[in-house]
Amino acid sequence: MEHMEVKMKGTPYEKALPQIFCGKIKTYISCINVPYESSRIEDFWDVQLNVSGNKNLLEGFQDYIQVEKLDGENQYFAGDEYKLQDANKGVIFQSFPDVLHLQLKRFQYDIQRDALMKINDRYEFPEEFDAAPYLDKDVDKSEPWIYQLHGVLVHSGDLNAGHYYAFIKPNKDGWWYKYDDDKVTKATKREVLEENFGGEFRFPNGHGRPLVQKKAPVMRPNNAYMLVYIRKSRLDKILTPVTAEDTPQHLQKRFEEELAAREARKRERDEQHLYMGVKAITEESFRHHGGADLTTFETPPGSQDPAAPRFYRVRRAATMAEVVETIAKDIGQDPLRVRLWIMVNRQNKTIRPDQPVMDLKPTVEETYSRAAAHRDQALRVWVEVAEEVNSVGEAVWPTYPGQTNGVFIKNDLILLFLKVFDVESQSLHGVGHVYISKEKKVEDLVPIITKKMGWGDKLPADEKIMMWEEIMPTRIDVLKGKQTLKAAELQDGDIICFQRVHERKSRLGLGDNKSSEETHKVSDRFEDAREYYDFLLNKKTVKFHAHPQKCDTNQYPPFELVLNSKMSYDRLSERVGEQLGVPPTHLRFYTVNASTGNARTAVRRGPNQTLHNILMPSGYGQLNSNQRNDALYFEVLDMSLAELDTKKNIKLTYLSEGITKEDHYDLLVTKSGNVEDLIQALIKKARIPSEEEGGKIRVYEISSHKFFRELDRTFPVISINEYTTVVAERIPQEELEADDPSAFISVFHFQNEPSRAHGMPFKFLLKEGEKFSETKKRLEKRTGLKGKSFEKIKFFVVRRSQFSRPKPLSDDDILWDVAASEDDFLGLDHPDRTRSMRNGAGDLFLKG
């Protein structure tokens, strides 16, 4: 609503929202025996009604406007003319808005439990009610003040968790509708009214739990917490019909697109049982794949990643011949040259081709059900394209060739997949496949590899090709050149990774067995394939954002880095420092709250601290489950972390214009320093004139919006209380000239009751014999509050004791005499304008 007000400011409809939603209420204290009344009229946008202690809406309104009698020791001071008088204190409505929002206070603080609790008591509300009895007697009642219910907001659950939904009656007459997330359904009056009154659950016979089970009542978890009523005589004005012409063109188009998409999804759901998916790995997708295995089957269908398997939605009753024809057409090949291999899950959790589909007559569903060990809802295949054809254009397959009698025989050739690790580009990708006899040696693969890579017939004398078998992502074994493929236990679907290396590097140990700790180096450059596989296993994409309160987000935009989760804190700082162009020693990191996106605690630097430990601390359970494991905030410091450990961080509020403008700073002061050092740090950080140029600075602590103590300039910063707010301000000239320290009074702000303190407290100089009319002029200058903001303030002398009654001040009073005790405060009674709420809406505390 507030955002709409801002947007509408300066337009012809600037006052449209207040005219519809804003009413007026009068707070008054009226003397019973003399003609004296103190009152104030304020706007309200909603009314908060107590649920506890009231059975229904009408009782809630009566409770809201009930009159408190001030008599006896609690008499009201009616100025110098009438002195102490019996009086009535209360509120009364001057007008109600056309659209009336009633907030039912179902969330309140329980003093016995010392916690906020949800009140599930029964609280009835009518479909219509007359608001006239709650209006001031002088209000015009010629037009009926009858209101009709048109909206009910419901919370189901308890304080810590729950669900929100609403009932709305969009027209003057007709159906109610329930709005529950993206579902909108018709609702009966019982669903709107009775089922949202709350209280004990009532069975269909109208009674609660049977007597034999009467241990504790079963309370409804769902009940109304906000009601929306519309003045009945204004219904036609408020609920004007919305025509197609009233809807913007772009919204109409969006609705049509959403409707078409919804219909398409419905058709797809209705026909889903008739179709199934086929995920196909092609030579092209394998060449783009840069990770373990042949592809990543978890990639969602429709992905633009060239390494992702192609996805086909086919009829379950379609034959495999039709599937081959669909795939062949998609990749631009003759169906006669295409053969599909079934992919299976091996025991080591890899997914590899097992054997080709030779019989193309069975359906897709039959083939899927016959496939061994599949853990996917789709049929997974590898697409092989024949390199040779016979005279009639039929494919010539190296293995499982077809015989004239229709029998397929497996020969001694095995299907291997080749991957290359490029040291220079630090990349791994597929090359293709090869058929080779099991009796051949590993070194016999070298000429095949050089030919596929275009490296010529022979490598230079100082170079060689190293090879590893990718058994699984965590196990990459070296292949020995003189070993046969049979002895190496290679079979169909196995993956060979190779790398071109210099002999000198090989003699230095390249390709030897190393522990995972040894393979993790400080450098991010990997010299052999196994090290790179270890990186792939531990790589983490981390998002980095500048700390919104401690860094310039415009100077340091967000970025992502692909990092090894084994890297140390110092190496992490180096990588981020390289990205930002700042010294790595001047970086501090913060974890991220997964729910709010706010920064959590700073990460501690340590010799054993790794990126994995930072993002997922040991014991990563309920305590740390609210932490994001893929993002960090960073802060660019003015000093190194080592130097920072010798500093104390102090959050300070600087008052630059009276008490109206607050600037907040995080200041670092040497732990052995004092308040004098804190002031110098403020001058440097805030870039304000020195004390010689701009005037002496005072530092004091406040607690609960009240002045706590002024800090001497020699006061050690290490002793500053962490549970108070530290404030600094220029000392006014008249206070510098004051000699008597007892000539000061502490000033604080409150709203209606001294217990409801708010705003910035301060010290104020008293002058002997000065009338309060003159004191107010100095207060106006001291606070920086001007015009109507200052004129509306009421002034009281408030004693420290919570049972004492505030004493109002008149212009003829002399504050020096009235506030004679050290326990006296000067209280400024005015509304809290700093709270982003309307009529207390900020007190509402709900969790969904």
Could you give the residue range(s) of every CATH 3.90.70.10 domain in the chain? 2-238
Q: Which CATH class is domain 272-411?
A: alpha beta
**CATH architecture, range 2-238:** Alpha-Beta Complex (3.90)
Distance in angstroms (rounded) separating the CA atoms of residues 324 and 359: 11
Residue 829's closest CA among 801, 800, 803, 807? 807
- 3-state class of 421 per DSSP? strand
Three-state SS for 779? helix
The pLDDT assigned to 834 comes to 64
Cα separation, 715 vs 725, whole angstroms: 16
Task: Return the closest-CA partner of residue 231 out of 239, 220, 243.
Answer: 239
> Tens digit of pLDDT for each residue in 341-361?
999 988 888 999 988 998 899
pLDDT at residue 844 in the model? 37
CATH number of 537-644: 3.10.20.90
The 10 Å Cβ neighbour count of residue 138 is 8
CA 791 to chain centre: 42
Asked if residues 588 and 635 have their Cβ atoms less than 8 Å apart, the reply is yes
Would you call 429 helix, strand, or coil by DSSP?
A: strand
Sign of CA dihedral 416, 417, 422, 427: negative
**What CATH number was assigned to the domain covering residues 743-848?**
3.10.20.90
Q: What is the CA 430 to chain-centroid distance, rounded?
A: 39
Tell me how far apart the alpha carbons of residues 679 and 657 are, in angstroms, rounded to a whole number.
Answer: 17
Instruction: Write out the CATH class of domain 646-731.
Output: alpha beta
CA–CA distances in Å: residue 485 to residues 264, 413, 435, 488: 52, 10, 12, 5
Record the tokens describing residue 6, joined without a space. 């801002």
What's the confidence (pLDDT) of residue 801?
A: 65
- Which pairs from 435-441 meet CB under 8 Å and 24+ separation? 435/398, 435/399, 436/485, 437/412, 437/413, 437/485, 438/412, 438/413, 438/414, 438/484, 438/485, 438/486, 438/490, 439/412, 439/484, 439/485, 439/486, 440/484, 440/485, 441/481, 441/482, 441/483, 441/484, 441/485
Which residues of the chain are in CATH 3.10.20.90 domains? 272-411, 415-513, 537-644, 646-731, 743-848
Query: Could you tell me if 320 and 359 are in contact, meaning their C-beta atoms sit under 8 angstroms apart?
Result: yes
Report yes or no: 492 and 446 within 8 Å, Cβ to Cβ.
no
CA 665 to centroid of chain Cα atoms: 25
In 474-518, which ranges are E strands?
Answer: 475-478, 494-502
Could you give the angle at the alpha carbon of 443 between the alpha carbons of 440 and 446, nearest 5°? Answer: 110
Q: Which two tokens stand for residue 255?
A: 């609705």
Distance CA 601, CA 624 (A): 12
pLDDT at residue 847 in the model: 36
Per-residue burial over 274-290, b = 16 or more CB atoms within 10 Å of its CB, e = otherwise: eebbbbbbbeebbeebe
Name the strands in the sheet holding 599-602, side by side, starting at the edge strand that comes first in the sequence.
Answer: 559-564, 539-546, 631-636, 587-592, 599-602
DSSP 397-414: -SSSPBPTTS-B---SEE
The first and second tokens of residue 494, run together, are: 């196995």
3 state SS of 18: helix
- Judge residue 679's burial from the number of C-beta atoms within 10 Å of its C-beta, 0-12 exposed, 13-18 middle, 19 or more buried: buried
What are the residues facing 476 on neighbouring strands? 470
Tell me how far apart the alpha carbons of residues 513 and 468 are, in angstroms, rounded to a whole number.
11
How far, CA to CA in Å, does 700 sit from each of 221, 668, 724, 759, 817?
48, 17, 10, 15, 26
Low-confidence ranges of the chain (pLDDT < 70): 110-114, 202-216, 372-374, 402-408, 504-523, 619-625, 801-804, 833-848
C-alpha 296/C-alpha 11 separation (Å) is 56
Per DSSP, the residues of 86-99 read -EEEEEEEEE--SE
The 37-44 sheet, strands edge to edge: 37-44, 23-31, 87-95, 68-70
SS3 of 592, please? strand
Backbone φ and ψ of 69, nearest 5°: -95, 125
At 802 the three-state DSSP class reads coil
pTM recorded for the entire structure: 0.54
Give, in words, the CATH class of 415-513.
alpha beta
Length of the chain: 848
718: nearest Cα among 684, 667, 670, 664: 670
Beta bridge partners of 48: 103
Residue type, 518: E
Rounded to an integer, what distance in angstroms lies between the CA atom of residue 826 and that of residue 816? 11
Helix (H, G, I), strand (E, B) or coil at 59: helix
- Provide the CA 324 distance to its chain's centre, in angstroms: 47
Query: Could you give the C-alpha distances from 115 to 688, 756, 809, 815, 840, in angstroms and in order?
Result: 44, 19, 37, 40, 19
What is the predicted pLDDT for the residue at 624?
Answer: 56
Owner of token pair 């990639």: 299
- Where would I find the H helices in 193-234? none
